[in-house]
Amino acid sequence: MIAFIKRYEGLWLFTRSPAAIIAAIVALLSIMGAAFAPLIASVNPYDLASFSLMDGLLPPMWEEFGISKFPLGTDDQGRDMVSSILYGARLSLIIGLSAMTIATVLGVGLGLAAGYYGGRFDMIVMRIADIQLALPAILTSLLIDGIARGILPSEIQQDLRVAVLTLAIALSLWVNFARTARASTFVQMQKEYVQAAIIMGQRPIRVMFVHILPNILGPLLVIMTVDLASAILLEATLSFLGIGLPADSPSLGTLIRIGMQFMLSGEWWILWIPTLFLVALVVSINILGDFLRDVFNPRLR
Amino acid sequence: MLKVKNLTVKFPSRFGDITAIEDVAMSIASGEIHGLVGESGAGKSTVGAAIIGLLQAPGFVADGQMTLADTDLRNLTAVEAHNMRGKRISMIFQDPQTSLNPLMRVEDQLIETIQAHEDISSKDARARAVEILEEIGIQNASERIKAYPHQFSGGMRQRVVIALALSTNPEVIIADEPTTALDVAVQSQVLDLIKELATNRKIGFMLITHDIGVIAQVADRVSVMRYGKVLESGTTAQVLGDPQHPYTQALLDSVPPLDRKIDRFRVPEEESNPSQKDVGNHAERWLLEGVMQENVGLKVENLRVEFPGVRTSLWQKPDSFTALHDISFDVKPGSILGLVGESGSGKSTLAKAITGLVNPTAGHMALGAETLPPGKLRTRIHPSRQIVQMIFQDPYSSLNPRHRISAILSEPLWLYGLVNDGGERRELARAMLDLVGMAPEDLDKYPHQFSGGQRQRIAVARALLARPRFLICDEPTSALDVSIQAEMLNLLKDLHAKFGLTILFISHNLAVVRQMSDDMVVLRNGRIEEFGRAQNVYQNPKSEYTRELLELTPVLPTTWATK
Amino acid sequence: MTYFILKRLIQSVFVMIAVAFLAFSLFRFVGDPITQMTGVETSIEDQERLREELGLNDPFVMQFARFTGDMLQGDFGYSYRTRQPVGEMISSRIPATLELGIVALFISLLVGIPTGVFTALRPRGFATQTILMTTLVGVSIPTFVIGIIFIFLFGVQLGWLPTFGRGGTVQIGGWESSLFTIDGWRALLLPAITLGLYQLTLTMRLVRAEMMEVLRSDYIRFGMARGVPMRSLYFKHALANTLVPVITIIGLQFGGVIAFSIVTESVFQWPGMGLLFLESIRFVDIPVMGVYLVVIAFFFVLVNLIVDLLYVAIDPRLRVKDTS
């Protein structure tokens, strides 16, 4: 068993790093919790009938007036905090993961092609990336949101909220992938195995995806984790600003926005519990990202 | 003066401590050039690094003594060690490009070094720096000293590096592969310079190299290393003329001679597997089937390749750079044509033009009776894609690190529709591995599990599995140790003999080309300097350039060889 | 070299035009300007007349040309919400955001670079590990949370610093600055630190990675072999080579600073462009959104251009031709 672990350097380093292990556990628990939210949570925060104002503003279990039915208390509407967090995390993760996937596919695809074909195509892709970069992430997201608001009739606006948000975040993230993929592809193009494949007469698609792609995955994986964290933070920020998900289908960011109203009035749990959860989740993802970065770049250890 | 005894260096790893060098002993007197020769991984650089105290962490000196005159080098404090570096011992590295700070002018780097050890004004330091530069052969030193490193050519840069090492007046200089990255002519000059400095300034040199010819040219004494141990040591004449250790003997046997062509090299333990007769036969038969047709030759006429220049000004159109001017030559069917050229001669561009990676600006190429479509006009499915195969220089990048050998070898089989059944492909691939001297079990491994020499064999197998008629070998042995090179050349010779392939063999190493070719072309700055039967070119070179190249190539003097 | 500068200029102009085009498309296609500007009572004929007058029936390209022409002359249209000229609205807010951004950037560089160098020189020290862990957590906390925490701690609990507004401001020419009063600085401090924190961690990590890379290069090793003092090797040779690529990132960082200023301004109610933009989103005030876009892109492109020029000035390999 130990020999097996030692064989894969990455695995061995993982077992030596307590931080990475804890992070992985936290991340895993969060994801599981979020995924199985409907099964675990006692309350469905979206279902207006499942909670009542009478239960509102109850503190967590260990405080005076707290009850075990609501282990972490309730908010002003009477929703159970635990359930809210689980469902909120769910939304945050869905949006984060989807956005990251779209950004990855788009960015890596364009980056690979730009690196492979070079010339005009490369120039065009880079110009588009430049323009995208001139508009930082939050800006792009807000703009897309604003545009959607202006274009779509208000009935379907609500339903498309999640999609619009995902698209907005994805568009702000793809450039990172594209640049890195492009740079890595340039390096690989100089390698002889690529030249051999081209000389032999392989199809370009095959050269790009079967030959080059497996060799540039390293840095891309790192960016994927970092961008996942960014996507989640971005969504939280947007929700906090009121542009993201609304109060009746809240994500973690929305919960924090709601909680801020109670910051000064003493119901601290409505604010700090979602905050803590969000931070813990993102920190875990970032620790794992850092860990991956160290694995792929041994010189930084 | 510099004495080393029982030196042992270890590197801790997750598998325990790895011994890099063990029980190494040597001595260098003042004014003496001591060559440390060995193949890659022998530990030569580690010896140098240990002596000067610059071992890469986490390596450590586990045992041994090192003394320079009266100073014990091993038990110095960090401060003492630092002071000693430069003042008494200095070191120069292989790549002059990365050895100099690209952001600082040469004069600043020189002055800084001088002032680090002496209390001297900047004006005086600069004067001294100019003196040194002139001494090592840089003309117009007082002007050139103001330049940045990237403004010097490779050879000149290495001279600047040497000047920097000299400026502190050390007693010993450790030179780690100082000429490996340089062209033959430049290498010769730098070696002469080192000899001069040793004699005139009484500096002791430890010359670390893998090239025995270099040792023969300038070293007074030599130590041979392998697997971290010194196997043999003595004066150069002794060791090279009458080697005692079997490894040394075998090593010397692997060096390709310049003056004659030998049939086959004798090699130290073969890295390859003795062929299991039955397995390899399958591949042999299969290949021979493809040979039933006639041999093809390559005809190149008036080939010209120009690259557009980089724009640096708005109004002026940039000059285009001509890599190849009007190249014409023939590769006769079934023969081996050797193409010799130094860096910048255009040999790689030529290979790229023939394989279609580069678009020629003018000229004509023909494979056998058919015209070879140039560059972009050559479609992916053109028959030449199968007939012409290439073996590349760098075994560490010519195989896709993420593919298994089985996948790499099967590619030509299904791409060209040669074998349509997956099981059959596997069998054939196995047989081919055996034919090139690898074990059939290697089929399911990954490239990183093999050494450089083994990888090149796999590359040959891949090329052969396309059933080619024309093979281009682009510096196939330049990245290999000399003994592995000998094995590789043997393999190529065997294959050529058996299957009658037409081969274009490209290299910068004249001795290697001598061993392989029937005909020869010498390329310089994109033009053909000389062309003819190899034997004639080597014995009676017509062009001045060829003559010079032949003279400057470091070789083992035949007077020493007792065989 | 002049060609290089010219090329960059043309690229910048191209980017600006593209952004202007985006902004213009916003104007034209999102919502109907006429219905925004007039009420429900206006008759159809009047609306049509207005359309004609404003030239909204002209061909696309012509409208775009007019749009850019107007912008270059300083006419940015009118806000749907407040009916005021957008140009005035935005320009009155620029000083607040710029000051905040520059101070934040300054803080991030002032703390980030030395810390990065320190952690590179002592990679295994306890201090380094702590710093790395702290920055990791710092990067994971959203800016607005940091802002909230600061407000809570310094504003509410300790009451040391104001939690909203700019404090005392001084008019210099057309520029309303808060840098010249103690009061102004007290108000600037929390938002600037909040804004700068994220950039700080990025800078630190970048400097650290670059420096560790540089420290392994041959010329450093050669310097050690020649006995050049370590201090000189670290702070003259290594640092210079490290900073060169770091400078190029500053352009991107500035963009990040401006972007995140939206959040910070929201949390601290700082009256800058970001806050204006947020409000315009809420009310779908297209003119303001569009112009904000153009202004941001302009700053970004300008800073990047300057950084590129700096880069050329510093790296001799780009300045002097390679004669090898």
| Model pLDDT for residues B256-303, shown as the tens digit of each residue | 888 778 778 776 555 555 555 567 777 788 877 776 667 788 888 888
Tell if the CB–CB gap between B356 and A199 is shorter than 8 Å.
yes
Is residue C40 very low, low, confident or very high in pLDDT (cuts 50, 70, 90)? low
Query: Which residues in chain A have their CB less than 8 angstroms from residue B380's CB?
Result: 201-203
Taking residues B379-394, report their average pLDDT: 88
**pLDDT the model gives residue C72:** 77
Q: Which of B202, B160, B155, B220 is nearest to B182 (CA)?
A: B155
Residues 6+ apart with CB under 8 A from B405: B399, B429, B433, B442, B443, B444, B445, B446, B447, B458
Chains that touch B (3 or more CB pairs under 8 A): A, C
Tell if the CB–CB gap between B93 and C324 is shorter than 8 Å.
no
Check if the beta carbon of residue B58 is closer than 8 Å to that of residue B17. no
Separation CA C320–CA B314 (nearest Å): 17
**pLDDT the model gives residue B522:** 92
Check if the beta carbon of residue B420 is closer than 8 Å to that of residue B254. no
Residues of A at the C interface (Cβ-Cβ below 8 Å)?
A: 19, 127, 130-131, 133-139, 142-143, 145-147, 149-151, 229, 233, 236-237, 240-243, 253, 256, 260, 263-264, 271, 275, 278-279, 282-283, 285-287, 290, 299-300
Indicate the burial class of A64 (C-beta count within 10 angstroms; 0-12, 13-18, 19 or more).
exposed
pTM of the prediction? 0.81
**pLDDT the model gives residue B338:** 93
CA distance C2 to chain B (A): 7
- The mean pLDDT value of chain C amounts to 79
Q: Copy the structure tokens of residue A144.
A: 């897309």
Please provide the size of chain A in residues.
301
Query: How confident is the model over C43-92, as pLDDT tens digits?
Result: 777 777 777 776 666 777 777 777 777 777 777 777 777 777 888 888 88
**pLDDT the model gives residue C324:** 39
Instruction: Reduce the DSSP state of residue C293 to 3 states and report it.
Output: helix
Query: Which residues in chain A have their CB less than 8 angstroms from residue B14's CB?
Result: 6, 12
Check if the beta carbon of residue C294 is closer than 8 Å to that of residue C282. no
For strands B470-474 and B502-507, give the pairing.
parallel
C20–chain A Cβ distance below 8 A for any pair:
no
**pLDDT the model gives residue B559:** 54
Separation CA B338–CA A156 (nearest Å): 73
Separation CA C152–CA C129 (nearest Å): 28
Q: Which of B239, B241, B220 is nearest to B231 (CA)?
A: B239
Instruction: Tell the residue number behind the tokens 């491994």, with chain if given.
Output: B445
**pLDDT the model gives residue B267:** 67
Q: Copy the structure tokens of residue C207.
A: 């400097």
Instruction: Tell the residue number behind the tokens 């948000």, with chain if given.
Output: A165
CB count in 10 Å sphere of residue A60: 18
Q: Say which of B54, B98, B165 has its CB closest to residue C219.
A: B98
Is residue B482 very low, low, confident or very high in pLDDT (cuts 50, 70, 90)? confident
CA distance A136 to chain C (A): 6
Q: Which residue of C has its CA nearest to A129?
A: C15
Separation CA C48–CA C58 (nearest Å): 13
Query: Which residues in chain A have their CB less than 8 angstroms from residue B389's CB?
Result: 200
Query: Which residues in chain C have their CB less than 8 angstroms from residue B157's CB?
Result: 324
Check if the beta carbon of residue B170 is closer than 8 Å to that of residue B88. yes
**pLDDT the model gives residue B84:** 85
Separation CA C58–CA C172 (nearest Å): 43
Check if the beta carbon of residue B51 is closer than 8 Å to that of residue B72. no
Range in A6-20, A218-232, B1-15, B451-465 with the lowest mean pLDDT: A6-20
CA distance C300 to chain A (A): 6
Tell if the CB–CB gap between B402 and A215 is shorter than 8 Å.
yes
**pLDDT the model gives residue B558:** 58
**pLDDT the model gives residue A42:** 63
Range in A162-171, B32-41, B408-417, C313-322 with the lowest mean pLDDT: C313-322
- The mean pLDDT value of chain B amounts to 86
DSSP run (H or E) holding B467: none
Separation CA A137–CA A126 (nearest Å): 17
Separation CA B96–CA B109 (nearest Å): 14
**pLDDT the model gives residue B561:** 46
B394–chain A Cβ distance below 8 A for any pair:
yes
Check if the beta carbon of residue C55 is closer than 8 Å to that of residue C63. yes
Q: Supply the angle between the helices C182-215 and C143-150 in degrees, to the nearest 10.
A: 130
Q: Say which of A142, A229, A299 has its CB closest to residue C140.
A: A229
Q: Say which of A191, A199, A202 has its CB closest to residue B357.
A: A199
Q: Supply the angle between the helices C126-140 and A213-240 in degrees, to the nearest 10.
A: 60
Instruction: Tell the residue number behind the tokens 């401090």, with chain if given.
Output: C189
Q: Measured between alpha carbons, how far is residue C33 from residues A103, A144, B490, C119 in Å?
A: 33, 19, 82, 55
Taking residues B247-253, report their average pLDDT: 84
**pLDDT the model gives residue B562:** 41
**pLDDT the model gives residue A271:** 82
Q: Copy the structure tokens of residue A132.
A: 């995208």
Is residue C323 very low, low, confident or very high in pLDDT (cuts 50, 70, 90)? very low
Separation CA B281–CA B276 (nearest Å): 9
Diameter over CA atoms, chain C: 88
Taking residues B116-131, report their average pLDDT: 87
Q: Which of B168, B169, B197, B192 is nearest to B182 (CA)?
A: B192
CA distance A300 to chain C (A): 7
Taking residues C131-148, report their average pLDDT: 84
Query: How confident is the model over B186-216, as pLDDT tens digits?
Result: 888 889 999 998 998 889 999 999 888 888 8
Tell if the CB–CB gap between B150 and C229 is shorter than 8 Å.
no
Is residue C35 very low, low, confident or very high in pLDDT (cuts 50, 70, 90)? low
Instruction: Reduce the DSSP state of residue B296 to 3 states and report it.
Output: coil
Query: Which residues in chain A have their CB less than 8 angstroms from residue C286's CB?
Result: 146, 150
Is residue B346 very low, low, confident or very high in pLDDT (cuts 50, 70, 90)? confident
CA distance C194 to chain A (A): 14
**pLDDT the model gives residue C97:** 86
DSSP B37: E
Q: Which of B226, B243, B397 is nearest to A191 (CA)?
A: B397
Indicate the burial class of B264 (C-beta count within 10 angstroms; 0-12, 13-18, 19 or more).
exposed
Q: Copy the structure tokens of residue B241.
A: 């003329």
**pLDDT the model gives residue B272:** 56
Query: Which residues in chain A have their CB less than 8 angstroms from residue B385's CB?
Result: 199-201
Query: How confident is the model over B501-555, as pLDDT tens digits?
Result: 899 999 988 888 988 899 999 998 889 988 989 888 888 888 888 888 888 887 7
Tell if the CB–CB gap between B90 and C225 is shorter than 8 Å.
yes
**pLDDT the model gives residue B224:** 92
Check if the beta carbon of residue B64 is closer than 8 Å to that of residue B5. yes
Q: Which residue of C has its CA nearest to B164?
A: C226
Residues of B at the C interface (Cβ-Cβ below 8 Å)?
A: 52, 54, 82-87, 90-93, 95, 98-104, 112-113, 116-117, 148, 150-154, 157, 161, 164-165, 167-168, 311-314
Q: Which of C196, C195, C197, C170 is nearest to C182 (CA)?
A: C170
Residues 6+ apart with CB under 8 A from C206: C116, C246, C249
Intervals of chain A under pLDDT 70:
1-10, 12, 39-51, 55, 63, 66, 68-69, 136, 146, 149-150, 152-159, 247, 297-301
**pLDDT the model gives residue B278:** 66
Instruction: Give the residues across from B7 on adjacent strands.
Output: B24
For strands B362-367 and B298-307, give the pairing.
antiparallel
Q: Say which of C30, C144, C209 has its CB closest to residue A240.
A: C144
Q: Say which of C136, C278, C281 has its CB closest to residue A290.
A: C136
Which residues 259-318 of C are in CB contact (within 8 Å) with B? 314-317
Tell if the CB–CB gap between C317 and B150 is shorter than 8 Å.
yes
Query: How confident is the model over C234-265, as pLDDT tens digits?
Result: 888 888 888 887 877 777 777 778 777 888 88
Taking residues C131-149, report their average pLDDT: 84
pLDDT at B113 over 70: yes
For chains B and C, CB pairs below 8 A equal 101
Burial C47-78 (b: 16+ CB within 10 A, else e): eeeeeeeeeeeeeeeebbeebbeebeeeebbb
Query: Which residues in chain A have their CB less than 8 angstroms from residue B15's CB?
Result: 6
Separation CA B497–CA C71 (nearest Å): 78
**pLDDT the model gives residue B563:** 38
CB count in 10 Å sphere of residue B304: 16
